[in-house]
Amino acid sequence: MRKNRIIYYLLCAAALAFASFYGGPVSYTILFGLILVMPVSLTYLLTVYYFFKIYQSASGKHITAYEPVPYYFVLQNEYLLNFCHIRPNMYSTFSYIESMPADSEYELLPHENARYDTKLICRYRGEYKVGIKSITITDFLKLFRITYHVPEPISVVVAPRIPQLRSLRTDNDPTRSSYKENPNIRQYPDAAVRDYIPGDPPKSIHHKLSAKTGSLKSRLYYGEERQGIAIYLDTHRVSEDEYVYIPIENKCLETVLAIANYYSALSVTSTLKYYGSGGHASNCFTQAKCSSRREMESFHTLVSEIPFRPDTDSGRSISLLRNDRDFTDCLVAFLVVTQISKELNETLNELSLSGVSCVIYYVSYEPDVSGIISLPDQMVVPIHPEDDLTRVM
């Protein structure tokens, strides 16, 4: 377009010079003809702007991230002129259209329409606009253009997807698959026995084996191995810019769902806790549990609606884990955080002293984990908002 405009201005200047030096009806006809091109082009653009119509629709307002849904749009010419150089502009940051060629242009004859049926795919959890954002209209000589903004864009509510994990990196960590004594949690007998030692509690005596061998035997007591896992989610909104916080919050929720879904297949109970709910931050945790695949649908619905708020106090919320029985008594504690703080390190230290294995998922655009304290029985996993969780978890 810039090239065409430069050529047009040069032609106008040449016609003006020709008319000035030579005069005559021919030179002035050329000059006035070139000058009239501009108002005619602008009038054409205004006519297209006024009579042009667009219709678009997506299948349902509530959809799941990365789940293709039917989508179509119709470009309609409702006038007697030929409409050329009609280019739709899509919302492309949070969603995309399958098989939609870039910079595609349409030409519409009088009373003609162009329909395009395809699939719409949303990338992130949240509520935002999708489909066609605006239409760029260019005149027939490609000298000028105007933008027609869609008056009623499509708004959708997107739920996070559930990543299907075949394994976790923690599976390969021997500290999480081995028995270890934990005096701070309830005690349950293990299969191993030993000779009775004075001071052993009477309930630990293995009566049948004692009668069989003729000497007292005691069962060994270890920390409960099948207590379930606990998940903490940091619900502090990290930015006011939706292009920053929507991908981060989406990845946090995907991480939570991936963990719960993985353990639900093993019939291990997952307890999720996050700070605050509803329209304001509260002073206690909100929790949700998932014990089996049958409960994943309701768990997914609840997780999809978790609010992130800029006034949520991450330091205070993570400090509450130190006295939370679901975390101090669990098999493994998973912490999904978006920032590193002094309170985080203090909590990790307290959980480690309680004999709890911790996995920290740090979700950030620049996930530098050097500020997280290094402790035994602990794993730190940095996650970028665009990472594939099946690879990093």
Least confident of 11-25, 143-157, 163-177: 163-177
pLDDT averaged over every residue in the chain: 85
The reported pTM is 0.77
Residues 161, 159: Cα–Cα separation, whole Å: 7
Best CA proximity match to 158, nearest among 241, 239, 68: 68
Is residue 46 over pLDDT 80?
A: yes
- List domains and CATH numbers for the chain: 2-159 (2.60.40.10), 169-178+226-392 (3.40.50.410), 187-223 (no CATH)
Round to whole Å and give the CA distance between 97 and 215. Answer: 76
Q: Kindly report which listed range (125-134, 174-183, 191-200, 303-312) carries the lowest average pLDDT score.
A: 174-183
pLDDT at 381 over 90: yes
Of 270 and 198, which is predicted with more confidence?
270
**Packing angle, helices 2-22 and 24-51, rounded to 10:** 150
Nearest to 2 by CA among 145, 147, 137, 135: 145
**DSSP 8-state secondary structure symbol assigned to residue 309:** B
- pLDDT score at 228: 86
Determine how β-strand 187-195 pairs with β-strand 83-90: unpaired
Mean pLDDT of 294-323: 92
Q: pLDDT tier at 67 (50, 70, 90 boundaries)?
A: very high
What mean pLDDT comes out for the span 101-113? 85
Lowest pLDDT segment from 52-56, 61-65, 168-172, 370-374: 168-172
Among candidates 47, 8, 37, which has minimal Cα distance to 137? 47
